[in-house]
Chains A and B, each alone.
Chain A
Amino acid sequence: MISSSLNSSNYSFFDKLKSVDYFLILLVLLIGAISVFAIYSTESGDFSFYTKNHLVRLVAFFLLFLVLSFVRVSTWYRYAYIFYFLGLLLLLLVIFFGISASGSKRWINLFVFNLQPSELMKIAVIVCFARYYHRIQSVDIESYKYLMLPIMLLLIPCYLVITQPDLGTAILIAGSGIAIIWLAGLNIKYFIYSGLMVIVSLPFVVSILKPYQKSRILTFFNPERDPLGAGYQIIQSKIAIGSGGMYGKGFLQGTQSYLEFLPEKHTDFIFTLFSEEFGFLGSILLIFLYVLLIYRIIKIGFSCRSFFAKLYCFGFSSALFLYVFVNIAMVVGLLPIVGAPLPIMSYGGSSMLSIMIGLSIVMSCKIYSQEIVSN
């Protein structure tokens, strides 16, 4: 077979190094550097707890990213389902051994740091679905036999995450999975039908939402209804971004965050802080870096031979876009506050870990782009 000659697992180390996407690494480093400065600014220019932690995690997970990049893409393929079920297992463990903070149970204590399995699930779903659709022929996709399984695979983790409760992450997991189903070529009518179903079932969904989630959604439509309570975050975030203007207030000069008007400035609202200090131009630049990163991942996807790698890269790029979009749309008041971190920028180990793992699989797709994957 011609394929077997190409399916050479004997890449030399030099070959591997040569095929590493250095531009991708540069982008990750750039965003990583910006994130350190942003976290540094949340502590009013004090190199202390958050900045130190963030820097350590960034460096550690970046190294992990580099190391994992050399794991064969076929290995990822092989262990894709195991990765998924491991994630599921961890989510189940959260229910029994999880630790709670501010009303939700999301973390597992790993002694080194608290792991948030739902973050890992974000990647696991993509890997799992990429593998699932790798083998399925276009003609079979429409059949119920092949449709029910991915829906089940998606609903279970989403349900577990929603009940933590963590609506934001659940939406991101669902979004990533749906993106791959879409890419695999499921007929558009299914998406239209299910979209309509979601709209119809919305009243029912609203009725089972937690009060704080309901209030967040109501507040999204009118933040002024509760300016000191649920609307406070979004009002203050908009004030911070708006008052940044074209050029921003300057590094470490963001009064909204420095004077503690801005809530959650390390995590979900890190973009707000950045935007306040660096203005419209800075924000556009940061968004542009993300766009480049996403573009680069798509480009890698094109260069891949296997459907698994392609679907993974396209799927991950879409997920990444979704993370960035949901986070920014949320802090500028285009979406309700659901709690979604900005990849790399936000303070938080699990989010950083999952992004770095996700990127390392992309890199592996690049390095082993010509590898044919199979069981």
Chain B
Amino acid sequence: MSVELSTSGKVLRATSVSAGYDGRAIVHEIDVEATPGKVVSVVGPNGSGKSTLLKSLVGVVPVLAGTVTVGDTEITNLAPERIAMLGVGYVPQIDDVFPPLSVKENLEIGGYLLPRHDVASQIEAVLEFFPRLRTMMSRKAGKLSGGERKMLAMGRVLMLSPSVLVLDEPTANLAPLVATQLLEEYIRGFADHGSTVLLVEQRAKAALRISDWTCVLSGGRVVLSGAPRDLENNPLFVESFLGGGAARA
């Protein structure tokens, strides 16, 4: 992988974060820390507040209490564009590309903060990482398949060589094989290249396979956290996520 990914990831830290809409907290007093070269995953049932947590870290949902920092910089409640400028790349679960724009234009928008003369070379770097996108550069993003679209969403974020990648259910609605490739090849690859990766994932087993640390969210609170190996031996976790109906490989 020769893409110019940042090899100087920064620590993303949420300390006692409560966040929600209209002054009403959906997630409560969350502590999460993601470090360079590691994948930290957040798993939990639907409605547990996983996406709200991620959105609060990237400025989309207001933080009502607590602090969020990237490296030494506090980013609590900064505007999303300021957080992007500080090297945090965010891929939402849905609406993750600009459908009316072509693949090339989506990547160009991803590199909006780059100096103009660096955009073409960075697109080339992203295409080396996601070679399938090369054949569809003029196609509108709205016409792509789910897997292609997710690759484009990731590619768009990689345009800025972010220090921190925040990914909200990147495998949602993807075929199992594509989902596995995305998680094991690409997302794990980002961390192996030095980036900090914070991932929300419904497929608990698959998330554990690529994670260095996992938090379990339920009812808006962290109910368990630990290394994947420890969680796999935790009867409560196994019952809730690996053995029960909620589990998805």
Q: Do A and B come from one complex?
A: no
Using a CB–CB cutoff of 8 Å, the interface residues on chain B facing chain A are: none
Using a CB–CB cutoff of 8 Å, the interface residues on chain A facing chain B are: none
